[in-house]
Each structure stands twice: as C-alpha cells, then as structure tokens.
Amino acid sequence: MLVIELDLLLGFVNSRDPLHQVACEFFERVARGELEEVKVAASAFLEYEFVLSSRGLNAGRDILSFKAIPNLGEAPITAEVLVKASELRKAYGLTYFDSLHAATALLLDKKLVSTDREFRRVRELEVVDPRSL
C-alpha cells in the first residue's frame, strides 16, 4: 500500500508546480488501477485545507475532486496515528503535519510517497519518490 502526503496534491492542482506532470501521471495511473492500494493520508487533506485557507482560498471542491479519483482511498487520522505522530516528532523533529503523514504510513504499510527529504530520517519508513514510479 502507498500513502501519499501533501506534495502530490499541491503538484496536481498547480500547473506551475515542479511536480505537476508527475502528479498528473501518478493520479492517472491510480485511476486506471495501475497503482494499487493508494491512499491519501487524511492529514494531507487537512494540511491542504490549512494551506489554501491561509491564502484565502476554499479547498472543499478540490478535496472532493481528489476523493472522486477512482481507486484512490483515504487513510484516516486515528488515535494510534496521533500517538505515533507524537513519538515521531520527539524522535525525529518532524513538523506536526509531516509527523501525521509519516505515522499514517508507518501504521499501514510503511510506504510513503513523497519528495520531502525530511521523511528519509525516519528509519522504519520507506519513502518512495513519485518520480521513480
């Protein structure tokens, strides 16, 4: 199972983002079923909403559009995710949202799709660069 975090969401909606083409191809492959068991960490949706609202924008329509992508699931924020995230912040100095994304991936299948180098510090986490898929 692959868990995705914020960078692919932002890359998908912003045509000027360096990850735009990669994100478009990634989500097309998910929709076609070529990449199986892909989930967005619910914390990524939360961070996406936070980023857009800080710019005076409404993220609701975008989030619903992400949810409508065929074969794309959602990994919830659970009590276990919150506890694990707290441990990761203490152990690795991750930001709040990065700790939630990493905790979600660790509790599912230990695979996180991201270009963020901070995640590579988490020894037990397998970080998959979307450009390599």
Q: Is the pTM of this model over 0.85?
A: yes
Count the neighbouring beta carbons within 10 Å of the beta carbon of residue 102: 32
Q: Where are the domains of the chain?
A: 2-132
Tens of each residue's pLDDT in the chain, 133 residues: 999 999 999 999 999 999 999 999 999 999 999 999 999 999 999 999 999 999 999 999 999 999 999 999 999 999 999 999 999 999 999 999 999 999 999 999 999 999 999 999 999 999 999 999 9
CATH no. for 2-132: 3.40.50.1010
For residue 70, give the nearest of 19, 27, 113, 109 by alpha carbon: 27
CA 71 to CA 97: how far, in whole Å?
24
